[in-house]
Amino acid sequence: MTERNQTEKNSDKSTAARRNFIGAVAAAGGLAAIAPGIHLVQVSQANTPPRPAGEAASKAVRWGMLIDTTKCSSGCNDCVTACATENGINETVKDARQGSQWIRKIDIKEVKTGRSHSLPMMCQHCANPPCVDVCPTGASMKRADGIVLVDRHICIGCRYCMMACPYKARSFVHQPLTDQNPEVPRGQGCVESCTFCVHRIDKGQQPACVETCTKAGHNAMLFGDLNDPNSEIARRVAQVTTTQVRADLKLDLGVRYQGI
Amino acid sequence: MLRTFRLAVCALSAVTALVSTGAVAGESRVPKPAITIENPGKCVAPVDEMRRNHMDMLKHTRDKTLREGVRGMKTSLNGCIECHASKKTGSVLGNENFCQSCHSYAAVSLDCWSCHQPKANFKATGALPAGHDSPTGNASTAGAKQ
Amino acid sequence: MKIEQYTPAEERLFYILLAFGGLVSVIGLGAAYYMEHFGHVVSGMTNQVFWGLPHVFGIFLIVAASGVLNVASIGSVFGKKVYKPRAPLSGLLAIIMLAAGLFIIMLDLGRADRVLIAATHVNLTSVFGWNMIFYPVFFGVVGLYLWTLMDRRMHGYSKAVGVSAFIWRLAMTTGTGSIFGFVVARQAYQSAILAPMFIIMSFAWGLAVFLLVQRSMYAWNNMELHPSVRQRLKNLLAIFIAAVFYFVVVYHLTNIYYAKETAFEHFILVSGGIFPVLFWGGYIVLGTLLPLFLLYHPAIWPKSGSVCAASILTIIGGFCLLYVFIIGGQAFPLDMFPGMEVSSTFFDGVVGTYTPSLPEILLSLGGLGVGFTLTVVGVRVLHFLPQDDLAKLQDAGHAFD
């Protein structure tokens, strides 16, 4: 355990240094090549350069999301729509209970006081994910940078991870699919959930939900590297009180909520 | 008893002989795969190597990319599709098309396409999944563009 | 070995039973294929209640498979003579029921075609992963045990292998109980008591199945169980039923005591529609009180059929209990935000509903059909009819220990 922490710290330092360097290069190159269409907001959030080809995801990074529920309005579904478009979740199912939901909006109201909030709920990308623990084949897995994924190549569709997930974040695909997006394979008989738009993150982009929320001016979602003390999300998390849903389980979530 | 056995052996060898001569003469009842190479000469490896090892290459990439997050590898399934999709149908699936025609001929099942998109340059429509009500209209394009 | 002569009528009945069992199994296979082809959209299972009837049947069979071996264990591990002639049948039924249970569970997988992956990629932090090791070894150990019983040269090893099978079976059912016991997310589960509770449930259900099969075999051969043997077995069944009841009471009492679980208990025991009905009517009345009454009432238990009826009721009660436990545990909404009212597009805060569809029912029955067919073939091909040495029993004055 200690040994692992040690190496983690060491690699932390070197990777941080490398990331800063790459960041500087990318920023310099990016400024020259920047297209007029790109919003400034994106630049300010784009603290995450694309990972070079051939390089594996790094343990030094811990991707995370901060959701400001005070800015999230009930009835707004922009993040959900963006997710559906990006990830090709477009199938029609006869029974809505059999449909997939990678991200959903939840309205909560305190019973005693009537105080209410709205918030998006999705895979919380736990550091200690119960779905990974219970998966019989190892299909449910956590990538080095903290993203929890389903390896559908070895998923047998037993649904034990759905039993284990405290957030109802996982869906089972109940029917054959044909209209997948090329970068987001998904299909019948396997379990799936939010991937933090891993295919976008690896290119240095934000997850679709976050990008849309920001572009639409809601600014309720912030994405970044929780391990990088200079990232906006790390600074915000250090400044404001944030909540982890079902913190009693001590799963160390990648998604944090502010204002509930 | 012995006689029946001998008869059976004779009959069997006759059938085998017929079938094998047919195959040699190219008269097999199974049609040869119709492989059209849309972009010849651009493959990541020589034909012989691809024929023998494409499955291992793809599996290697799949595990590296999904489980370790390595991107931009030499081989990728989407790379195959972009190059090999039929110009007519846009897909690598279909009896006449690259993946399926050969796999049907070799009688090897193709499991990729229950999850992966077999069409090149495919863009899924952004219809909302069942159960979602969208009170704010379609904000769908924002997230999808790269 | 002497080949028994069957009358033509018996012969015909055997093939009728075989055809019946085979047909039910084939229909089950067809149903599984249908579900694989069209996807689970044709099942009643949803993303809220994703383990359904097949899991109730499969887990019942797997639990009872372990318990039915108990009869052999009492004979070979604890040395009770009256159980020894029953050991081969007990071992055979254990293998058959585990196979039947796995038949259902494996064919219900979303990707049943990949079932081999479960054997080639085992995640050892998963209780399911452990079970992937428990099940095949169970087949092996019980098979070996049967060998030591049937082959005179191997008799010497029978005790050692019997003890191994006994220990392995306890571990396996601990694993089955822990499938739920290790789930922290849901209020119905996450309890260490589930492991011993599943073991004791396996004792009761396994013995009930054993008694039914034994009775059918005796009826076929126009034999009657010796009254003292019968009394011993019925007392054992009653003790197991009472023990299960004790565990169920403790499980619910602890839950009721915790404030965070009271809403869930209220749901299961009072307000949850079908679940309280199945719990009180199915498990408590039909599956516990009634069989205990049949087994203990001095005027009723000696009558023919009372033990048989009690066994059937125990099995029905077991199904009801598992249904409430598995389906009810999923139907109750996850409590992500304590003290909050929750609503969403994904049925958060809403009680899940579940109606099994025809393919699921057929698949579940198909598993029973597989078990039935294998049993019919097994007891005919192998001479496993438990035969008590009555002279010896009487000499011992019914003191069989």
DSSP string, A80-145: HHHHHHHHT-----SSGGGS--SEEEEEEEETTT--EEEEEEE----SS-HHHHH-SSS-EEE-TT
Confidence at C390, pLDDT banded by 50, 70, 90: low
- Among candidates A133, A175, A190 on the partner chain, residue whose Cβ is nearest the Cβ of C111: A190
Confidence at C77, pLDDT banded by 50, 70, 90: confident
Domain carrying residue C325: 41-353
Phi, psi of C49 (to 5 degrees): -120, 95
Query: What is the model's pLDDT at position B132?
Result: 53
Mean predicted confidence (pLDDT) in B108-119? 91
pLDDT in tens, B45-58: 998 999 999 999 99
Residue with tokens 């929780």: A226
pLDDT at B128 over 80: no
Confidence at C385, pLDDT banded by 50, 70, 90: confident
Confidence at A44, pLDDT banded by 50, 70, 90: very low
pLDDT at B1 over 50: no
| Burial letters C230-265, b for 16+ CB under 10 A, else e | bbbbbebbbebbbbbbebbeebeeebeeeeebeebb
Check B134 against A186: CB less than 8 A apart.
no
Check residues C253 and C10 and name the one with the higher pLDDT: C253
Check A90 against B124: CB less than 8 A apart.
yes
Query: What is the model's pLDDT at position A206?
Result: 95
CB pairs under 8 A between A and B: 156
Count Cβ atoms within 10 A of the Cβ of residue C216 and give its class: 0-12 exposed, 13-18 middle, 19 or more buried. Answer: middle
pLDDT at A32 over 50: no
Tell me which chain C residues have a C-beta less than 8 angstroms from the C-beta of B133.
345
Query: What is the model's pLDDT at position C393?
Result: 63
B125 vs A: CB within 8 A: yes
Q: Which chains touch A (3 or more CB pairs under 8 A)?
A: B, C
pLDDT at A33 over 50: no
Check C110 against A135: CB less than 8 A apart.
no
A133 vs C: CB within 8 A: yes
List the beta bridge partners of residue A122: A103
CA distances for C190 relative to B139, C92, C177, C179, C314, angstroms: 41, 33, 10, 9, 26
* ipTM of this complex prediction, to 2 decimal places: 0.91
Nearest Cα of chain C lies from the Cα of A3 at a distance, in angstroms, of: 21
Closest among C66, C74, C37 to C142, alpha carbons compared: C66
CA distances for A200 relative to A39, A41, A50, A87, C271, angstroms: 17, 17, 9, 11, 47
Check C346 against B133: CB less than 8 A apart.
no
Check A95 against C117: CB less than 8 A apart.
no
pLDDT in tens, B20-77: 544 444 556 777 887 778 788 788 999 899 999 999 999 999 999 999 999 988 889 9
3-state DSSP assignment of residue B21: helix
Q: Is A193 a domain residue?
A: yes
Confidence at B140, pLDDT banded by 50, 70, 90: very low
Closest among A84, A64, A73, A27 to A219, alpha carbons compared: A73
Q: Is A225 a domain residue?
A: yes
CA distances for C11 relative to C4, C7, C18, C223, C375, angstroms: 11, 6, 11, 18, 16
Confidence at B142, pLDDT banded by 50, 70, 90: very low
Q: How far apart are CA C35 and CA C361, in angstroms?
A: 12
> B132 and A80 in contact (C-beta within 8 Å)?
yes
Q: Is C19 a domain residue?
A: no
Name residues whose C-beta falls within 8 Å of residue B57's C-beta, 6 or more positions apart in sequence.
Answer: B45, B75
Q: Is A25 a domain residue?
A: no
Tell me which chain A residues have a C-beta less than 8 angstroms from the C-beta of C118.
136-137, 156
Query: What is the model's pLDDT at position C322?
Result: 97
pLDDT at A170 over 50: yes
Check C182 against A158: CB less than 8 A apart.
no
Q: Which of A161-170, B68-77, C265-274 has the lowest mean pLDDT?
A: B68-77
Check B136 against A55: CB less than 8 A apart.
no
Amino acid at position A110, single letter = E
Amino acid at position A27, single letter = A
Tell me which chain B residues have a C-beta less than 8 angstroms from the C-beta of A143.
67-69
Nearest Cα of chain C lies from the Cα of A210 at a distance, in angstroms, of: 20
Look at chain C and report how many structural domains it folds into: 1
Q: How many CB atoms lie within 10 A of CB B26?
A: 7
CA distances for B87 relative to B23, B37, B113, angstroms: 31, 10, 19
Look at chain A and report how many structural domains it folds into: 1
Q: Which chains touch B (3 or more CB pairs under 8 A)?
A: A, C
CATH number for C245:
1.20.1630.10
Q: What is the domain partition of chain B in residue ranges?
A: 29-121
Q: How far apart are CA B115 and CA C385, in angstroms?
A: 52
Q: What is the DSSP letter of C173?
A: H
Q: What is the DSSP letter of B123?
A: -
Mean predicted confidence (pLDDT) in C358-364? 97
Tell me which chain C residues have a C-beta less than 8 angstroms from the C-beta of B131.
345-346
Q: What angle do CA C263, C266, C267 make, to 5 degrees?
A: 90
Confidence at A47, pLDDT banded by 50, 70, 90: low
Nearest Cα of chain A lies from the Cα of C317 at a distance, in angstroms, of: 24
Query: What is the model's pLDDT at position C4?
Result: 58
> C193 and C247 in contact (C-beta within 8 Å)?
yes
List the beta bridge partners of residue A243: A257
Q: Is C173 a domain residue?
A: yes
Query: What is the model's pLDDT at position B131?
Result: 52
pLDDT in tens, B75-110: 899 999 988 998 888 899 888 888 988 898 899 988
- B window 75-114, beta carbon within 8 A of A: 78, 81, 114
pLDDT in tens, C287-338: 999 999 999 999 999 998 999 999 999 999 999 999 999 999 999 999 999 9
Tell me which chain B residues have a C-beta less than 8 angstroms from the C-beta of A198.
69
CA C121 to chain CA mean position, Å: 27
Tell me which chain A residue has its CA closest to the CA of residue B114.
A187
CATH number for A125:
3.30.70.20
Q: How far apart are CA C283 and CA A107, in angstroms?
A: 38
Tell me which chain C residues have a C-beta less than 8 angstroms from the C-beta of B132.
345
Residue with tokens 């694309």: A50
Domain carrying residue A54: 50-258
C118 vs A: CB within 8 A: yes
B55 vs A: CB within 8 A: no
B27 vs C: CB within 8 A: no
Tell me which chain B residue has its CA closest to the CA of residue C37.
B114
Q: Is A191 a domain residue?
A: yes
Tell me which chain B residues have a C-beta less than 8 angstroms from the C-beta of C346.
131
pLDDT at C92 over 70: yes
Q: How far apart are CA C50 and CA B50, in angstroms?
A: 42
